[in-house]
Structure formats: C-alpha cells, structure tokens
Structure 1
Amino acid sequence: MLIAQISDIHASPSNDNLARLDRAISWLATVQPDVVVVSGDLVNGGWREGYVQITAALQSLACRTSFLPGNADDRTVMRAAMPEAAYWADGERMHFAERHGAALIVGLDTCVDGHAHGDVTEHLPWLRQTLASDPSAIPLLFMHHHVFPTGISPLDDVMCVGADALSDLLSSGIRRPIAICSGHVHRPMASLIAGIPAYISGSICPANPLLLDPLREPPVTDPPALMIHDLRNGRLVSSHVSV
C-alpha cells in the first residue's frame, strides 16, 4: 500500500505553485500510489478556482485522493468547490476515516477559524472513537498542523495546541496510529510523539528556511517536496521526496 502525501500548495493566481504541483503529479504518475492525501493549505485567499484546478489535476493519477483543510483554506469555499469529497464528517469539521487495504487513513481537521495555529483538544474524543472503529486495520493519522516543536520559533508559535493531550491519549492504552503525518512547516522534518513516528511533509510551495537560530539564516534551495508512506506487511517506511 503506497500512500502519497502532498501538503501546502498555497496556489493563487499570482504564483506558479500549480505548476510546481504538476511536477509532483508527474513524478507520482511513475509511482502509481494507491491513495493520495493532501494535508491542507491548498490555496491562498479562498481562491475557488484553485480548488477546482487542484482537484482536476490530481484526478489524472486515477487513485483515491482525500483532502484536509489547512489554516490558509476556507472550509465553506472548499466544500462548495469540491462537492465530490463527500467523505468529510458531518458538521463544521472536515475529519475523515477511510479503509484502504490494510490501512485506516484518518484525517483530523485541526484548524481554528481566523488563526494560523491548530488545536487538537476538542477532537480527541472523535479520534479515540475512530481509532477503535476498525480493529483489523493499521491507522495512519494525517493532520495539517505539526504536533512537535521544530526549533523554528515563528512556526512553533502556530503549531498544534493540545499536543501534550494528544500524547497522553496515545499513551493511554488505546489503539495507536503507526505514524502521525502533517504539513504546515513547509520543510521536511521528523520526530516522535508518544513513541510514534511523527513526520512533517515538505511543501509544494517554496520552502521555509531552516531557521533554528534567528541570527543564522541559511539559504533555501529546496525544490517542491512530498512524502511516500509505504505500508507493507505491517511495517511502514516513509520517504521524503524532492521533485
């Protein structure tokens, strides 16, 4: 089972990020993933036509594509522009959970209206119930906001609130995801939360600098990036890919 993750396209009429997305899709066409998860920040400024163009471009891969909103997205515009994505949970939040082969792909909408940071706290009961819903499947958890400090202060200021509560939940004896996969940082990174691998996908849009020290800003030379999560025989191998 090959699960591709694309994040942070940030398409708008004033940038070339749709062309950068096309490069990623061309690369994915050679891999032929079973599922694509787009983990938020599809467009800037509620650009409705951007949602339409992104959906159409990804349809060329001929596989299931699931979408999460990011803090740059407008849920109302996103729902209207992508009505075929009827898998989203009822109500305001756009969570989802889908079985694909041995995998249970769980998407958690962590966005907070009007703010750049995320918050997982109020969604933990839904997550607990969802993780218990299909005992024969292996869960992978996707969200937009990262849940571990990256060391990049401006981005950690807008990370996911409630990460400690999430860690407590995942350490409480419930069924655990095999990995936690996010975006938001515009830079590939990895750590652990509750002993579970936690990944941040690189972005389709231009990357942020690895600003671990504000007095030492390195150049940004990263091309568009994505991830491939290979779930095989109960084991997950996750690859950061530059295109």
Structure 2
Amino acid sequence: MIIAQISDIHAAPENDNLTRLECALAWLDSVKPDVLVITGDLTDNDWRDGYTKISACLNSRTYPKFILPGNSDNRRVMRSVLHNDLNADGEGDQAMHFVADMGEIRLIGLDATIPGASAASAGEHIPWLEKALSAKGNTASMLFMHHHVFPSGIPPLDDIMCGDAQKLGAFLRQNPQRPLAIATGHVHRPVAGTLAGIPAYICGSICPANPLWFGTVSVPPANDPPALMVHRFIDGSVVSHHVSL
C-alpha cells in the first residue's frame, strides 16, 4: 500500500504554487500511489478559485483522495467546492475528520484546527479518535493531522503547533491500538520526531519552505524545492520517505 501525502499548497493568485502542485502530482503519477492524503492549507485568504483549480488537478487522478483543512483553510468553502474529492465527516463549519480502511491499514484524519486561529487543539476530538482507532476492521492504522505534534525547534511555528499535543500523546500512550505513525504538515519543512513513542513526521510543503531557524541572530537561507511524502505500508509496518522535487 503506497500512501502519498501532500501538504501546505497555500495557493493564491499572486504565487505559482498551483504549478508546483501540478509538478508534484505529475511526479506521483510515476509512483502510482494507492491513495493521496492532503494535510491542509490548500489556499490562502479563502480563495475559492484556488479550491476549484486544485479540484481540477485532483479529478484527473483516479486514486482515492482524503483532504484535511489547515489553519489557512475555510471549511465551508472547501466543502462547497471540493465536495467530489472529500471523504470527510460533518457539515458546514464542523470538523472534517475522516477514517477509511485501505487494504490492510486504516487511515485516520483528525481535524484539530480552530476556525480563526493559527494554532490547533486535539483534546475535544479524542473521543472521536478513540472510536476511530477501536472500530471493527483493520488494527494497523496511521494518523494524519495538519498541525505538528512535537516541537520542531522553530520558535514561531512551535508557538502555533497542536497546543495540547501532550494530552493527545497521553491518550495514545495508553491506547491498545496505537497508530503506527503520525503524519502532519504546517511547518513547511520535512522533520521527523516522536509522540508517545510513535514515529511522527512533518511533511515538507508544496509552497516555498520556511528556513531551518532555531531562534539565532542569523537566519539560514531556505532553498528547498517543493516536497511531499510517500508512506509505504508493507508486512505490518510503515516506511516513510521525504521526497524533494
């Protein structure tokens, strides 16, 4: 099972991020993923035409797609424009969680975004997550979110991460059906860490990358190309690849 992940497109009329997205999707055409997960921040400033253009890019691909919102997205507009591409719970401005058994692995998307806020909170959604993890079917699972759940070391981004990640971690640590991995976005850099002993990844962005800046006086340059991730589930385990294009 090949699970592609794209994050942080941030399409806007004044940038070329849709072109960068199309390049990423064209590269994925050669990989032939079984499923694509987009982990949020599709457009900036509620750009409705951006969602329409993204939908057109996705509609030419036949594999299933699952889309989470990010803090820059508008859930209502997403639902209105991307309704053919969404496999999400809820309606209107409600959380856009998803859960799907794909082959022998369960994909879970947890929408912890807070409308109008840059940071996120997962705590109120833990009961939903518990049901998603314990539902009959596949016991192997992978959890997707937009906001990162471990400190990246980049101060302004860690200020707006998943604010109650430790509460989420405490739940996952004691849950008998823990996900094999957690995959997020938001930082615009590829990063690897852990939460509650579970491998956790931050997918690089389609939009221009943020610098690897740890709060020092000087800011290193950021010359990273567009990035995505490919997660391969085989023999009960997940191997995750960061890909630069």
Letter in 1 for 2:204: G
Indicate conservation of the 8 Å contact 1:32/1:61, yes or no.
no
The letter for the 1-side match of 2:4 is A
Partner of 1:61: 61
Secondary structure at the aligned position of 1:159 is classed as coil
Measured in 1, the distance between the counterparts of 2:142 and 2:136 equals 12
Structure 2 counterparts to residues 98-113 of structure 1, below 5 A: 98-113=100-115
CA offset at residue 55 of structure 1?
1.6
SS in 2 for 1:230: strand
Tell me the TM-score normalized by structure 2: 0.96
Aligned with residue 198 of structure 1, among 189, 197, 200:
200
Coordinate RMSD, CA, aligned: 1.1
The answer for the alignment partner of 1:5 in structure 2 is 5
CA contact (8 A) 1:121 1:161 kept: no
Show CA shifts across 1:92-129 (max 9, x none): 11001011101111001111111100110100010011
Match of 2:35 in 1: 35
Unmatched 5+ residue regions in structure 2? none
Q: Which deviates more from structure 2 when the two are superposed, residues 3-12 or residues 161-170?
A: 161-170
Contact kept in structure 1, 2:119 and 2:147, CA below 8 Å: yes
SS of the equivalent of 1:13 reads coil
Return the alpha-carbon distance in structure 2 between the equivalents of residues 174 and 80 of structure 1.
37
Does 2:100 correspond to 1:95? no
Distance in 2 separating the partners of 1:180 and 1:62: 25
Paired letter, 2:160: V
Where does residue 226 of structure 2 map in the other structure?
Answer: 224
Deviation at 1:82, TM superposition (A): 1.1
Deviation at 1:214, TM superposition (A): 2.9
Q: Give the letter for the 1:197 counterpart.
A: P
* Secondary structure in structure 2 of the residue aligned to 1:114: coil
Q: Quote the offset at 1:20 in angstroms.
A: 0.4
2:84 maps to which residue? 84
Tell me if the contact between 1:11 and 1:18 (Cα under 8 Å) persists in the aligned partners.
yes
1:64 is aligned with what amino acid? P
CA distance in 1, matches of 2:175, 2:64: 31
Which residue type is aligned with residue 160 of structure 1?
A: C
Q: Distance in 2 between matches of 1:238 and 1:5?
A: 10
Q: Which residue of 2 aligns with 1:128?
A: 130
Q: For residue 50 of structure 1, what is the amino acid of its counterpart?
A: G
* Paired residue type of 1:230: R
Could you give the per-residue CA deviations for residues 71-105 of structure 1, whole angstroms, max 9, x where no partner exists? Answer: 00011111101122453112411001011101111
User: Which letter does structure 2 place at the counterpart of 1:175?
Assistant: Q
Q: For 1:61 and 1:77, how far apart are their aligned partners in 2?
A: 22
Counterpart of 2:24 in structure 1 is: 24
The 4+ residue runs of structure 1 with deviation greater than 6 A are none
Q: TM-score, normalised by structure 1?
A: 0.97
The worse-fitting range, judged by mean Cα deviation, of 90-99 and 15-24 is 90-99
Cα offset, 1:56, TM superposition: 1.5
Deviation at 1:58, TM superposition (A): 1.9
Letter in 2 for 1:31: V
Q: In 1, are the aligned partners of 2:45 and 2:72 still within 8 Å (CA)?
A: yes
Is 1:117–2:119 an aligned residue pair? yes
